[in-house]
Amino acid sequence: MDPVLSVVIPVYNEDAGLGALFARLYPALDALAVPYEIIFVDDGSRDRSAALLKDQYLARPDVTRVVVFTVNRGQHTAIIAGFERVRGQRVVTLDADLQNPPEEIGRLLAAMDAGHDYVGGVRRSREDVWWRRVASRAMNRLRERITHIRMTDQGCMLRAYSRAIVDAVAASREVSTYIPALAYTYAHAPTEVEVAHAERAAGESKYSLYKLIRLNFDLVTGFSLVPLQLFSLFGMFVAAASSLLYAAVVVQRLFTGHGWAALWDRDILEFFLIGVVLFGVGLVGEYVGRIYMQVRNRPRYTLQALLERDPAPAGTRAESEVP
Ligand code: UDP
Ligand code: MG
């Protein structure tokens, strides 16, 4: 019998906290009294995570499935690998570090009962370092302006999706993407609920400042052409302004023999424009890079192991996987 609820959890070097996760997750799901499955996706961990997941599979093979990547492909790719295999009609994503309390899953499901097909978690009080909070508030605001995606808390991974949305995300074949945003574009009745947030139970964050910046570039360039469009508008504006200025200087010279062109300090102006141009080239590079990754069409991930009791029937294997 297929489960009703599928819980997808990406795991990357989390051996210090997995025991605590198992101890809370299974009772929390048992308490919901709906048939469920948990799909752990080991994202190429270098610690003992994969071994711990295997033990857990052996302990609860009835509700546990484990996907093990060959190498690290990133949290969102790990979630996609889970999405490609879900059997439930409702899918919940969760972090492995217990920052998202598994006891809150019931609240997400209640919102789905009320007719929503996408339920985003909003962290009631966010337990992260201050610069993460400031940076994500700024990114939230930028994203709201240049995409159609409305999310109060884009960084919260405790979310529930209908199976239709999950299938659409899995079929999207995007290389670097941001699941909550991509899923949002397929939702017809999205909503949000407040959920608790805790400090990491064990281990450390896998996101450095650099990785966060990368992630936010994916979030912006993956969902909007506005940055490129702004750039061409700005280019037009600069071109128009400089030709007007040039005309004004020519006219002034004609009548007075000298002009105020020197007022425009050329060096400063050039510095500024070179900066703008470099940023623009880099921005174009972001898009070209995405196109390049996409046309190479390599598998998004490769598998080292797949632990599940009833393997999928032949011919239904997930698309991104290579034997
Ligand atoms: N994660 C992953 N692959 C990665 C980085 C992270 O699967 O390359 C997982 C990680 O194990 C955790 C979740 O994604 O379950 C969120 O990561 P983390 O807690 O480090 O992020 P933060 O909470 O600091 O944003
Ligand atoms: Mg975390």
Phi, psi of 225 (to 5 degrees): -100, 0
25-34 pLDDT, tens digit per residue, is 999 999 999 9
Residue 75 near residue 43, CB atoms below 8 Å: yes
In a domain, 44, yes or no: yes
Residues 246 and 174 grouped into a single domain: no
Q: How many domains does the chain have?
A: 2
The dihedral through the CA atoms of 49, 132, 139, 272 has a sign that is: negative
Q: Ligand 2 centre from 205 Cα, in Å?
A: 6
Residues 137 and 36 grouped into a single domain: yes
Assign 315 a pLDDT band (cuts: 50, 70, 90): low
- Residue of 58, 71, 82 whose CA lies nearest to 10: 82
Residues 38 and 150 grouped into a single domain: yes
In a domain, 212, yes or no: no
Residue count of the chain: 323
Residues 126 and 235 grouped into a single domain: no
For position 279, what pLDDT does the model report? Answer: 87
Q: Ligand 2 centre from 276 Cα, in Å?
A: 35
Tokens of 78: 């790990």
Residues 14 and 37 grouped into a single domain: yes
In a domain, 13, yes or no: yes
In a domain, 216, yes or no: no
Which amino acid type is present at position 102? P
Residues 184 and 247 grouped into a single domain: no
Q: Check pLDDT > 60 for residue 261.
A: no
Q: What is the mean pLDDT of residues 63-71?
A: 97
Residues with CB under 6 A from ligand 1: 10-12, 14, 43, 72, 74-75, 78, 95-97, 99, 205-207
Instruction: Ligand 1, residue 78: give the atom nearest the CA.
Output: 7
Instruction: Ligand 1, residue 41: give the atom nearest the CA.
Output: 7
In a domain, 215, yes or no: no
Q: Which of 8, 9, 11, 12 to mutate to test the pocket of ligand 1 (most atoms within 8 A of CB)?
A: 12
Residues 76 and 177 grouped into a single domain: yes
Task: Write down the pTM of the prediction.
Answer: 0.84
In a domain, 211, yes or no: no
289-312 pLDDT, tens digit per residue, is 888 888 888 889 999 999 999 776
For position 323, what pLDDT does the model report? Answer: 44
Report the percentage of the chain scoring pLDDT > 90.
Answer: 51
**Percent helix / strand / coil, the chain, rounded to 5:** 50, 15, 35
In a domain, 283, yes or no: yes
Residues 281 and 303 grouped into a single domain: no
Residue 67 near residue 85, CB atoms below 8 Å: yes
Q: Ligand 2 centre from 309 Cα, in Å?
A: 29
Q: Ligand 2 centre from 157 Cα, in Å?
A: 9
In a domain, 234, yes or no: yes
Residues 43 and 121 grouped into a single domain: yes
Residues 288 and 310 grouped into a single domain: no
Residues 184 and 261 grouped into a single domain: no
Segments forming the whole domain that contains residue 285: 226-295
Residues 86 and 193 grouped into a single domain: yes
35-61 pLDDT, tens digit per residue, is 999 999 999 999 999 999 999 999 999
Ligand nearest to the CA of 129: 1
